[in-house]
Structure 1
Amino acid sequence: MESPKETSSLRRVRIFKQTLMFLASSWGYMAGGMSLTWPNVLASDLLTDNSTLFGTHLRLSESQMDMVGSMMFVGSLPGFLAASWLVRAIGRRRSMMVSAVPGLVGSLLIALAINTEMILVGRFLEGTSYGIMGVAVRPYIVEIADTEIRGSAVVAANFLLQIGSISVISLGVPFKWYQVSFFSCAVHASYGLLLLPFLPESPTFLAVTNKDEKAKRVLHCIRGPDVDVEAVLRDLKKQNESVNNKKSWKVLARPEILKQVLILFGVFMVSNFSGVEVIKANTSRILQSAGVSLDMEVSTVMVASVLFGGNFVMMLLLDRAGRRRCLMLSFFLLAVGYSILGAFVFLGAGLTDPHMTVEVSAIGEASSSVAYYTDAVSTPLTTWDWVPLAALMLAAFGQALGSGPIPWILSSEYFPTSIRSQAMGMCALVGSLQAFAAMQLFSPMKTVLTPAGLYWSYACTAAIGLPYTFFLIRETKGKSIG
């Protein structure tokens, strides 16, 4: 009997269902976005009140502030390793449920922290949650989405990531840093208990694990009546038969696969050392070092909003222009933004009143109860404050347009289902090590290179990304990924 044809209205309903699945599976990324930019809330609060929920006082040095930002990436490393096995062993959906547990515990530890050590442990656990989600969520989305909307669908995770980033900064205005962490607890709890239990498992995972009947039911639901489900299953099994074995880790050493893995290692490195993660965690510190005297929380919200806008533009372009073009445009904007920021900081000595700067330094020294105060006090208002803010917003827009999310998207699209979790786990592991290094080197590089030199180094790295992307990155737009 011939299958009924899918009408336009039925297709819209089906795509709407897929969209709800994308958003539900990506909900945990909201907590991830809150965690990534939460150090800005802490840095801002320490300027006025360094007390905890229980009345103890925090004293953070520059290196400890770097560690607060980078510890999340340290925690993501065991998360990636665990997820590389979990996602293949128990499936995408259950792995996402597991990811909510360390995130909930970590956010709770931060909210109840009485010292720096509790904050660092909490950040480590939040990173573990983020790492597991990173390997589970994007493969799930690319495996349930229609090919023509796959790129835009994966951006759902980045949308929620940016919503979380904006939310945590906005919440930081009326609430203290430890109160904000209770909101992260609520996001993790709703993700693991209210949303994920009602999602179906990935049909491609079911197919390659020989659960054909379950796979057919899910495929009928998400692909519509026009799709030949039997043919889809046969195609999936054929694309995975050469790597579908219990020792699939060894498959990563095959020359054709190892080449793709190494290329992705490179694009993650260029991305991380062009300052894409530094923008999220250190917005307030960058603006302070540039002498911006605007309200730090407002400025940080503005930059986070630009990240959201960049993700929206990327969603519109990704399945039209393709991954490579978006990535090249992203690196170009990063290079321009950081070049302008570096030039402003380099020339900035002549734009401020030196007598006022001395007074501000004295204020910082008087606030010796919190070591981080000294460099965190804003310099006086100048008519040029908009320049570094605009430059950082341009770099943030460039980051969101591609260099932030696209390496993750490619790592989920470059490999077939049977080895997707292992290959993506390896790429994410190396990418997070690089992100940790970039975050931890923020203050030392600023000291050795000067702030201007640091921003120019980010610009040069982004410029290297242009030929790297043009010659080495393989386009995946509209192609079957197995």
Structure 2
Amino acid sequence: MLLGGRLLTGLACGVASLVAPVYISEIAYPAVRGLLGSCVQLMVVTGILLAYVAGWVLEWRWLAVLGCVPPTLMLLLMCFMPETPRFLLTQHQHQEAMAALRFLWGSEEGWEEPPVGAEHQGFQLALLRRPGVYKPLVIGISLMAFQQLSGVNAIMFYAKTIFEEAKFKDSSLASVTVGVIQVLFTAVAALVMDRAGRRLLLALSGVVMVFSMSAFGTYFKLTQSGPSNSSHVSLLVPISAEPVDVHVGLAWLAVGSMCLFIAGFAMGWGPIPWLLMSEIFPLHVKGVATGVCVLTNWFMAFLVTKTFSSVMEILKPYGAFWLTAAFCILSVLFTLTFVPETKGRTLEQITAYFEGR
């Protein structure tokens, strides 16, 4: 039953992670699309925080029951929501599309109707020759890959151990602390998304992650000592009869690096790849293209999770985290070179940009 429930939950999360960003981007007014699109990740980290808090006081069985409440509410509330105007236009339901638009926006002001003809129905491999399709597809896949290669899962794996080594008495409280940082900085990102722009936040987020991962690798390098490869380092000071444990002090370096990384990730590389994925694809290939991007994200998450311990054995812990810092550097360079700014543009204008119009 546990395995079956986990399988169904995974399938549902996969569908939601694909559909929710696309739905929001298609119903949102351009001026607030960044704010609303970032709310996907904000709600994800808020849910994680609430799960941490609930897990602090509830048995796991009751935690699973509590987890039924949000999807039940979503199921009921989505009954009152219309299909997106763009989808209705692909079904040649023009009146219904305009009615949905008036329901969502209040008026048709600012609406730019997408061209929907026979040539725009469905995805074909021949479309990959068009720059308006292959360029955003390469960008979307790369963003999802870099998000997972940043090392966010590795950091989360070590969160509990790091807090314990820093002498936190309650590891559950440490998890809640991590969740609070995620929520706060994701909320900040959502608020400034439509002012600062996507590229700037991605670049700043990447730079912060480079420094935090480098410091994290330095922590592992400093705590590795002697032929026994012990992670415990003690310094004997001549004027004191008691040994001074440097390990606890260095553990606080790890705590600071981890908190800095989580804040930096939440400001950019957490929410923005999902937001950009929902913005950059033309209407006629959006379903398939976003599906490929989501599949890339979850596959890379699996790959990093599965191989990270082996990488640590080969490169040592400090080498593994310095490797993630190198991937973060590549993500910054990729952002500055290839990722366009979508702030304030309609979805049709973004498509026209990739097509060279």
**Band of TM-score, shorter chain:** 0.7 to 0.9
Stretches of 4+ aligned residues off by more than 4 angstroms: 285-288, 349-354
User: Match for 1:210 among 89, 92, 100?
Assistant: 92
In 1, Cα distance between equivalents of 2:161 and 2:308: 10
Cα shift readout 1:377-424 (whole Å, capped 9, x = no counterpart): xx9982444321111011011111111221121111111222212111
In structure 2, the residue matched to 1:89 is: none
Give the unaligned 5+ runs of structure 1.
Answer: 1-108, 111-117, 355-378
Provide the C-alpha distance between the structure 2 equivalents of 1:443 and 1:202, rounded to a whole number of angstroms.
Answer: 44
Give 1:224-303 correspondences, 5 Å limit: 224-225=106-107, 227=109, 232=111, 235-238=112-115, 240-241=116-117, 243-246=119-122, 248-250=123-125, 252-256=127-131, 257-280=133-156, 283-285=159-161, 287=163, 291-294=165-168, 295-303=170-178
1:305 to 170, 180, 201: 180
Q: Hey, what does 1:382 align to over in structure 2? A: 248
Q: Match for residue 6 of structure 2?
A: 123
Counterpart for residue 299 of structure 2: 433
Describe the superposition over 1:14-35 as per-residue Cα deviations: whole angstroms up to 9, x where unpaired: xxxxxxxxxxxxxxxxxxxxxx
Q: How far apart are 1:259 and its partner, in Å?
A: 2.6
Q: Is 1:195 the equivalent of 2:77?
A: yes
Match of 1:345 in 2: 220
Alignment-derived partner of residue 354 in structure 2: none
Shift of 1:432: 1.6
The separation in 1 between residues aligned to 2:207 and 2:66, in whole angstroms, is: 36
Alignment of 1:96-175 (within 5 A): 109-110=1-2, 118=3, 121-175=4-58
| Distance of 2:287 and 2:163 partners within structure 1 | 38
1:24-64 deviation per Cα after TM superposition (whole angstroms, max 9, x unaligned):
xxxxxxxxxxxxxxxxxxxxxxxxxxxxxxxxxxxxxxxxx
Counterpart secondary structure, 2:347:
coil
Q: Structure 2: how far apart are the matches of 1:283 and 1:335? A: 18
AA of the residue aligned to 1:188: P
Give the share of equivalent positions with the same residue, in percent. Answer: 26
Alpha-carbon separation, structure 1, partners of 2:51 and 2:172: 10
- CA deviation after TM superposition for structure 1 residue 353, in Å: 6.0
The 2-side partners of 1:408 and 1:182 are apart by: 28
Q: Give the letter for the 1:389 counterpart.
A: V
- C-alpha separation between the residues in 2 aligned to 1:309 and 1:152? 14
Matching of residues 454-469 of structure 1 within 5 Å:
454-469=320-335
1:325 match: 200
Contact preservation (8 Å) 1:276, 1:403 = no
* Amino acid of the structure 2 residue aligned with 1:202: T
Following TM superposition, by how much is the alpha carbon of 1:122 offset from its aligned partner in structure 2, in angstroms?
3.5
1:406 equivalent to 2:272? Answer yes
Match of 1:391 in 2: 257
For 2:158 and 2:224, how far apart are their aligned partners in 1?
A: 22
Q: 1:277 to 1:127 in 2, by over 3 A?
A: farther
Q: Distance in 1 between matches of 2:117 and 2:42?
A: 35
Q: Aligned pair in 2 of structure 1 residues 285, 205: CA closer, same or farther (>3 Å)?
A: farther
Q: Write the distance in 1 (CA, Å) between the matches of 2:118 and 2:335.
A: 28
TM-score of the two chains, using structure 1 as the length reference: 0.64
Match of 1:475 in 2: 341
Range moving further from structure 2, 141-150 or 126-135: 126-135
Question: Closer, same or farther in 2 for the Cα pair 1:341/1:178, shift >3 Å?
Answer: farther
TM-score, normalised via structure 2 length: 0.85
Distance 1:131 1:395, change over 3 A: same
- Give the superposed CA RMSD: 2.5
* Structure of greater relative contact order (alpha carbons < 8 Å, 6+ residues apart): 2
- CA drift of 1:329 comes to 0.8
> Secondary structure at the residue paired with 1:173?
helix
1:205 maps to amino acid: F
Mapped to 1, the partners of 2:158 and 2:117 lie a distance apart of 45
Shift of the 242–271 alpha-carbon distance from structure 1 to 2, 3 Å rule, reads: farther
Distance change in 2, residues 1:431/1:155 (3 Å): same
CA contact (8 A) 1:243 1:419 kept: no
Runs (5+) with no aligned partner, structure 2: 226-230, 235-244, 349-357
- Asked if the contact 1:413–1:481 (Cα under 8 Å) also holds between the matched residues in 2, the reply is yes
The answer to whether the 8 Å contact 2:128/2:134 transfers is yes
Counterpart of 1:292, as a letter, is A
Aligned to 1:370: none
User: Aligned equivalents of 1:317 and 1:454: distance in 2?
Assistant: 33
Kindly indicate whether the alpha-carbon contact (under 8 Å) linking 1:274 and 1:457 is maintained by their aligned counterparts in 2.
no
State which of 275, 279, 290 in structure 2 corresponds to 1:424: 290
Out of 177-186 and 257-266, give the one that drifted further. Answer: 177-186
SS in 2 for 1:283: helix
